[in-house]
Amino acid sequence: MIRLLTGNILETGDVVWWDGTEWNLALRDAVDVGPEGDALLARTLAAERINEPALVDAEPTPDGPRPRTMRERVRGAGPTVRLDLNRIPA
């Protein structure tokens, strides 16, 4: 199990994932934040530019991380009923 850091961009509400360097729209680029996660989360909260930041559990797969919960998988992929609208494939 790995841990990902995610949230929504303040200006747009877009779902983003921490890729080790910056916030990234693609779930597949998310990295395991491991033991650094709590400190990263605290810094994100303090910066006030990412809304509702959270650490989520995921499984590593060859196609990138797969969040443990359906909720986070839907956040990563977009609405399952409007695949035409999803900006970035999961």
Partner 1 sequence: MYRYDQYDQSIVNARVDEFREQVARRLANEITEDQFKPLRLMNGLYLQLHAYMLRVAVPYGTLSGPQMRMLAHIARRYDRGYGHFTTRQNIQYNWIKLAEAPDLLAELATVEMHAIQTSGNCIRNISSDQFAGAAADEVADPRPYAELLRQWSSFHPEFSYLPRKFKIAVTASDVDRAAIQLHDIGLQLVRQDGELGFKIWVGGGMGRTPMIGHVVREFIPVAQYLSYCEAILRVYNRYGRRDNIYKARIKILVHELGAEEFTRQVEAEWALLEPLALDAPQAEYDRIVAQFAEPDYDRAVPDAVDRGDPDFAMWLDQNVHSHKQPGYAIATISLKPVGGIPGDATAEQMDLIADLAERFAHDEIRVTHSQNLVLAHVCKADLYALWTALDEAGLATPNLDLVTDIIACPGLDYCALANARSIPVAQKIAERFADLDRQHDIGELKIKISGCINACGHHHAGHIGILGVDKKGEEAYQLSLGGSGAEDASLAKILGPGFSEAGVVDAVEKVIEAYRTVRTGPDERFLDTYRRLGADPFKAAVYG
Binding site for partner 1 (CB under 8 A): 8, 10-15, 48-49, 51-52, 68-71, 74-75, 78-82, 85
Edge-to-edge strand ranges of the sheet holding 15-18:
23-24, 15-18, 2-9, 50-59, 66-67
User: Closest separation between CB of residue 19 and partner 1, Å?
Assistant: 19
Instruction: Tell me the DSSP string of 47-73.
Output: HTSEEEEEEEEEE--TTS-EESSHHHH
Least Cβ distance, residue 54 to partner 1 (angstroms): 11
Whichever of 43 and 49 has its CB closer to partner 1, that residue is 49
